[in-house]
Structure 1
Amino acid sequence: MDGIPPIAPFLQRLDALTEKMNAPDFYNDQRTASAVSREHQQLADLKAKYEELEKLFAQIEENKAIIEDESADAEFKELAKEDLQSLESSVEPLKKEILRYMIPPEETDSRNTVVEIRAGTGGDEASLFAADLYRMYSRYADRKGWKVEQLSSSESPAGGFKEVCFLLSGTDVYRSMKYESGTHRVQRVPVTEASGRIHTSAATVAVLPEAEEVDIHIDPNDIEISIARASGPGGQGVNTTDSAVQILHKPTGMIVKCADERSQLKNKQKAMKVLRSRLLEHKQNEEREKYAQNRREQIGSGDRSERIRTYNFPQSRLTDHRIGLTVHSLTQVMDGEIEEIVRALEEAYYNKRIETLIAEGA
């Protein structure tokens, strides 16, 4: 079919998944079963949409035949012409739907997500902006019905965050959050600026799909765990025990610290959760580098060094540099209303993938 890759391989995959789902032990592994079920549903929807398109083309041919039939009633021909216009206008939107269903689902889209925000250039103002981003994502999570669990944090003297790490749990979290990785730049007058000059500062965001033990095996010999006294406001119970945990992953040099809990065990569990997610990201990045040509399909590389967005407070303007999107509702955005931006980024991502699908199917 013109403009659409052959359907046969997708139908073969659907049959294979159907057979797999009919196996008696299919639900023994809940995680695999969930992933297979999602892919099966997507392919079933693809099949239904493709059959709908075939029926649409058949109707178009029928209408054309009526219009070209010299013996047909004139009024009947006119109705066929009007109907033909409606039918033909439905073709391209339906083709686009089919192409989207042909894009394989990413297994990590349904994962919970670890988000790390770090203050960048700009001193105290950068730390305050990092806190603003944390609040923005927390409010967005509330709107989506997700749970927010802070994993670790380091506060700045100004009251912001030098860095903060948290876990978002819920439905399709990574699918919505994965485009947030990169450098976020802010332009505004700091509260400490007496002359009213606009300053530019930045914070970096890393978005990591939560890794499970089956994804990443960590050899106990590869890690070094250090225990220290947690730092915090004097007199609080968090200071009375040696509960802060630092984990060094020797092969990669990654260091994870967690001191938010009074329990050493809980801090260790949280730190291991972050380490596994970082190692999964590291593994995925290595895989992407093997297929560097595919990076053009991505909306940004996910690299924290890439400037993805500017928040201009004096003009109440947000600009996402990857897709040229500008919105003039910064107050609402900072209050967690970022769904419009998320959907625009997702749409741009799918459009690029569709371009690639068409090129490969040509």
Structure 2
Amino acid sequence: MKQSVVTRLAASEPSDQLVIKKRSRVAETWTYVKRNYDLYLFILPVLVYFAIFHYIPMYGVQLAFRDYNPIDGILGSKWVGLEYFERFFNSAYFWTIIKNTVVISLYSLLIGFPAPLILALLLNQLPSQKYKRFIQTVTYAPHFISVVVIVGILMVFLSPSTGIVNTMITFFGGEPINFMAKPKLFSTLYVFSDIWQTAGWGAIIYLAALAAISPELHEAAMIDGATKLQRIRHIDIPGIMPTVIILLILSLGGVMSLGFEKVYLMQNQLNVSSSEIIATYVYKVGLQNGDFSFSTAVGLFNTVINFVLLVIVNRFAKRVSEHSLW
């Protein structure tokens, strides 16, 4: 009998120790929070923003699984399961929409992702700081131009009758081209206009990473007779590779989240066969046709694909290199 009591007491000691350790950790955490309360107050608006505009709206995701009726509300609407997902997968537009979204996204990633990196490497090699700041200002200024204005500039420049591009073509004896009516040219116009608008702004991140590289490495390489290209290859690129990998993971994770505004503004009845993407399809079905449940299902499918791609790419990057998001 005495042995059983002793055994029970001995068995209870580890659990009591765990409780004590947990309480001490909680006390230490609260002490740390009280000591640094001003920092937590500083990030409080950000937390409130994400809670209101990113987490609370997730309540409406269940629209994708209900036959939504505004009178009955979300919870009062009939539960239909995966009906809208099956409807989207079996629709005649499914493969066309997926193909257009993937093609434009990968094209933009293949051409647009290296553009700010190359621009930053070139700017970093300029000896004159005044000229460097001038070029940097000129290149990132288009970032502050609205998408509507950018598309308006495209329309004016590529106009088949008065556009400067077609004026140059006819000057050299060619025939005017209606660029905005050519489905094959839509992705090229979208990607290269996007590079012009965003390359300078994106180069700022890489310039900040290049500034963290020790100048002594370049001085030692110059003493050894290394050229600029050799210093870029063996010093600059390895130095900013962690930043490149993180941005590449984020870009690949959002490969299906193509911007809606610019595509919709550039879209017309003549190029819709190559410009209809998931974002524009959701807008037309959800807001213009009022089919909220179906559009929510399509949007949720797009989000799930992006999340899966992000996890896969992050895991692959972690195995190949030492850098990843988590």
- The normalised TM-score by structure 2 is 0.29
Q: Who wins on radius of gyration, i.e. which is larger?
A: 2
Q: Which has the higher strand share?
A: 1
Higher RCO (C-alpha under 8 Å, 6+ residues apart): 2
- The normalised TM-score by structure 1 is 0.27
